[in-house]
Structure formats: structure tokens, C-alpha cells
Amino acid sequence: MDAFLNYVHTFDPTFRTRIRGAADADIQRLAALYGRPLPPTYVAFLSVMGGSLGGFRILGEASAELPSVYQRVAEIADDPFFAELLAGCFILGEQMFPGLDLCLEDPGAGEPRVVAADVEVCFPVAQSLHHLLMRQAFATLAMRAYPHRGAWAGYTPDPIEAHGQAAEALGFVPLDFCDAQGWCGERPGARLRISHFADEPQAWMLASEDPAVIAEVGDWVSRRWSLRADRVLTAPR
């Protein structure tokens, strides 16, 4: 959590004053619903932000504060339709999208990955909770530090790794929280995020201090993959 908090502080110095951790007793009450210990990284997250996320959105509309998650788990704990899900996952955020919860998939050992699930796992979202938190901070804070934006999307035959390699050829340096669902990189004066979830199209989202960079990258992805502009916003000089 320290790496995430330090990163957020770079863009929002008051963030630590707005978040609130959950009480140890409440975290234990949640674990008791599952009948097994929560993953250590999830316990750390709840201890720091489980009481209040301070306005931070973990993904979509997911409510990740402990009271909301506890209520969701308590509601479905005795429902046989959810038995397999709760045996293999921990709910991280209630109702990320209608009908889908954000979950940590329990591998039994090692770091759990973040997934979307209804009564079963539907698709992966991030390699780990750390990857998800850092990607969201990058998207919602770091990229918004620049005034000019562009977004392009489309279906391509190439995996996200090929998109990342293309971004590197354009001068973007990958950050250490890239994974198979999200690539993040930056070059002087610009930040780029590439995402790909399940059957959704690949999407490039760019922020820059220079509108010429928006045009440059937009032209490139249009020629390379025929990605269509979703939005291009340039602030007045």
C-alpha cells in the first residue's frame, strides 16, 4: 500500500487525510463469513482504506468500503448459487457494473488476481490488487494532470503486448504495473494507457501537455490498426 499511497500523494497531497482504515474487528467479521483468512494484501487495503476510500474509485461503480462489501457477502453467503464463487474468490467491490462484482480470485498461494464475476468468474481485470490500484491512480490522477486528451478504440488481431511494443516505439516507457489487461507508459509531457478486457475492443487513452502529441498518436493508431477516435479533447492554449 505504501507505493500506491506515495504515488497518489504526488498528484493529490490531501489524499491521506481523506481515507480511513477499517477496524481489525470488522475485518475479522468479514473473514468469518468466508470461513478462512483474507489475503494479506486485501487485509492491508482494508486496514488503510476500508473505512473510506476518500473519493477514490477502484473501478467502475464498485463500492469497496468494508460496510458495503460485508453486506454484499452476508446477503449471498447462504445462497447455493454463490457457493462456488465464495469458495474461490473474495469480493473486493460490490457491483462494479450491473450484475458483476469485482473479486480477488483465491489461488490458495501467491498473489490473487482481480476478476469480474457474477455467480462465477467471468474475466480477469488485473494481475493483482496492486496493479489495479496503481492503474486506477494513473488513469484518474496522473493522466488528468495534462490538459489535452485523446481516446481511440477498435478490435484488432494483436494482443495487448503488441500494442505495448508499439507504444514503446512511439517513445513511451512502460511502468511496472502493466499487465495483460492494462498497459501504462509515459514519455516527457505525455501519459498513455492501453486497455483490453475480455471481448471488449482494445482502447488507447492518451493525455499530453501538447495537442500535437494527441494528433501524432491518433494518426499512428489509425494507420496501424484503424482504431477509431472515441474522443479527442484539446484545451485552449
Map the chain to HEC letters: CHHHHHHHHHHCCCHHHHCECCCHHHHHHHHHHHCCCCCHHHHHHHHHHCCECCCCCCCCCCECCHHHHHHHHHHHCCCHHHHHHHHHEEEEEEEEECCEEEEEECCCCCCCEEEEECCCEEEEEECCHHHHHHHHHHHHHHHHHCCEEEEEEECCCCCHHHHHHHHHHCCCEECCCCCCCEEEEEECCEEEEEECCCCCCEEEEEEECCHHHHHHHHHHHHHHHCCEEEEEECCCC
Q: What is the pLDDT of residue 197?
A: 81
Sheet holding 202-208, edge to edge: 173-174, 182-187, 190-195, 202-208, 148-154, 228-233
pLDDT digit string, tens, across residues 140-199: 999 999 999 999 999 998 988 999 999 999 999 999 999 999 999 999 999 999 998 877
Q: In which region does residue 12 sit, left (phi positive, over 0), alpha (psi from -120 to 50) or beta (all else)?
A: beta
Q: What is the pLDDT of residue 236?
A: 44
CB atoms within 10 A of CB 57: 14
Q: What is the pLDDT of residue 196?
A: 87
**Domain range summary for the chain, segments of one domain joined by +:** 2-129, 146-233
Q: Average pLDDT, stretch 93-121? A: 88
pLDDT digit string, tens, across residues 202-226: 999 999 999 999 999 999 999 999 8
Q: What is the pLDDT of residue 231?
A: 57
Is 121 within 8 Å of 103 (Cβ atoms)?
yes
What is the C-alpha to C-alpha distance for residues 96 and 118, in angstroms, rounded to an integer? 10
CATH of 2-129, one of 3.40.640.10, 3.90.1300.10, 3.40.1580.10, 2.60.40.10: 3.40.1580.10
pTM: 0.92
Q: In terms of DSSP bridges, do strands 190-195 and 121-126 run parallel, antiparallel, or are they unpaired?
A: unpaired
CATH topology of domain 146-233: TATA-Binding Protein (3.30.310)
